[in-house]
């Protein structure tokens, strides 16, 4: 059966209908009827070919929740009718040293859901079943879809870099990833600071879990906050003056990047040396991170704050995200 999707047919263009034949179902694959798909800023980077990896027609969408409609002959742990989520990654070799260590999100043969593969802005999507995750029953589909990329991308480094309840955590950029970082950091028990370029987000950021809100253009507020944070996660794609953010770190503090600025970082090494500070970065999360994140989200009732729009209105939703007007994740829904 052909799959009806919407696709970019060239860089920086509107999405248009695109139908494709997915071929025979692989032995380890599942086909999922998409009910909801979040719009991550990475989808916009792909549509625009910002990273030089896009091939067209490009069907975006990697924050997917839906129902399994068929399973390959070697799929054991999932069955038709299961509600699952699929994120940025839909495959890896699972045999290499990196995969064996549980870091399959860094496998040299990793397959991205919408790079050289058609994503979730569609009626259905295919994935290796080992990258489709059962959604805990208490979580709602629309609010959970953004956890499959945005959620695990901010949860993973907090876990890996040892964020503890006594820590003071800063979040740069209160968008799709950033608002989830506020919720996760708050649920970790941390004191949470939102660092935003948009003053009008203050009330909502505090409702999402921030104890403190700093407008990053306020030089005095930034100076007053010097040496106050243990861990800062940056979710912005803008090229900021990172010196100001390093100054916010306490001794042994970490500035962690998940957002992808277009320019190389200019980092004053003296600030790192003087405060024994670290700069780090990470890509999405492993399958173990995904399971832990979904379990943690279910226990702490964490979901995205979403605006749900019909799949047919994807172009308007993309425009809203481009204008930084999404509050805080646009989610496409199929009828
Ligand atoms: P988003 O929803 O658009 O949020 C980005 C936020 O950055 C905005 O809400 C805004 O927050 C801030 N921002 C935007 N323009 C800015 C500017 N000119 N100056 C300062 N701040 C600005 O995007 P997202 O979906 O969260 O994705 C964010 C980034 O993470 C993207 O680069 C995406 O590709 C990347 N990403 C990485 C991974 C990974 O594995 N590492 C996974 C998913 C996404 P304020 O209004 O609060 O300033
Ligand atoms: Zn994403």
Instruction: Please report the sign of the dihedral spanned by the C-alpha atoms of residue 89, residue 157, residue 82, residue 309.
Output: negative
Distance CA 207, CA 185 (A): 13
Spell out which residues line ligand 1, taking CB within 6 angstroms: 40-42, 45, 149-150, 153, 173-178, 196-198, 201, 235-238, 258-260, 283-284, 321, 324, 326
Residue of 40, 201, 321 with the most ligand 1 atoms within 8 Å of its CB, for mutation: 40
Q: Whose CA is nearest to atom 11 of ligand 1?
A: 173
pLDDT over threshold 90, residue 114: yes
User: What is the Rg, in whole angstroms, of the alpha carbon atoms belonging to the chain?
Assistant: 20
Quote the ligand 1 centre to 80 CA distance (angstroms): 35
| Mean pLDDT computed over 177-199 | 98
Provide the 3-class DSSP secondary structure of residue 309.
Answer: strand
pLDDT over threshold 90, residue 1: no
Q: Could you list which residues have their CB under 5 Å from ion ligand 2?
A: 40, 42, 149
What is the tens place of the pLDDT at every residue in 46-86? Answer: 999 999 999 999 999 999 999 999 999 999 999 999 999 99
What is the tens place of the pLDDT at every residue in 207-263? Answer: 999 999 999 999 999 999 999 999 999 999 999 999 999 999 999 999 999 999 999
Distances (CA, A) of 191 to 131, 188, 218, 330: 33, 9, 21, 27
What is the tens place of the pLDDT at every residue in 253-308? Answer: 999 999 999 999 999 999 999 999 999 999 999 999 999 999 999 999 999 999 99
Instruction: Please report the sign of the dihedral spanned by the C-alpha atoms of residue 9, residue 12, residue 17, residue 18.
Output: positive
pLDDT of residue 72: 98
pLDDT over threshold 90, residue 43: yes
């Amino acid at each position: 059966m052909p799959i009806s999707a919407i696709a970019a047919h060239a860089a920086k263009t509107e999405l248009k209908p695109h139908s494709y034949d997915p071929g025979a179902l692989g032995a380890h694959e599942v086909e999922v009827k998409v009910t909801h798909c979040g719009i991550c800023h990475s989808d916009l980077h792909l549509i625009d070919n910002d990273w030089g990896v896009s091939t067209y027609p490009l069907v975006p969408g990697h924050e997917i929740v839906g129902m399994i409609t068929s399973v390959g002959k070697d799929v054991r742990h999932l069955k038709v009718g299961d509600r699952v989520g699929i994120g940025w990654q839909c495959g890896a070799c699972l045999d290499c040293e990196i995969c064996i260590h549980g870091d399959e999100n860094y496998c040299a043969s990793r397959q991205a859901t919408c790079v050289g593969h058609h994503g979730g802005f569609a009626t259905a999507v295919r994935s290796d079943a080992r990258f489709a995750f059962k959604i805990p029953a208490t979580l709602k589909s629309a609010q959970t879809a953004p956890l499959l990329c945005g959620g695990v991308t901010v949860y993973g480094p907090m876990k890996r870099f040892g964020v503890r309840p006594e820590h003071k955590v800063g979040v740069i950029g209160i968008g799709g990833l950033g608002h989830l970082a506020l919720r996760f950091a708050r649920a970790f028990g941390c004191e949470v600071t939102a660092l935003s370029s948009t003053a009008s987000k203050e009330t909502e950021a505090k409702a999402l879990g921030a104890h403190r809100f700093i407008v990053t253009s306020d030089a005095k507020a930034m100076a007053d906050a010097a040496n106050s944070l243990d861990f800062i996660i940056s979710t912005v794609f803008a090229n900021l003056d990172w010196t100001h953010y390093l100054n916010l770190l306490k001794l042994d503090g970490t500035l962690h990047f998940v957002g992808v600025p277009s320019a190389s970082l200019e980092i004053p090494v003296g600030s790192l040396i003087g405060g024994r500070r670290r700069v780090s970065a990470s890509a999405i999360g492993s399958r173990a991170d995904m399971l832990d994140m979904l379990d943690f989200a279910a226990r702490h009732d964490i979901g995205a704050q979403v605006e749900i729009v019909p799949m047919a209105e994807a172009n308007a939703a993309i425009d809203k995200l481009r204008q930084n007007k999404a509050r805080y994740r646009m989610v496409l829904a199929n009828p």
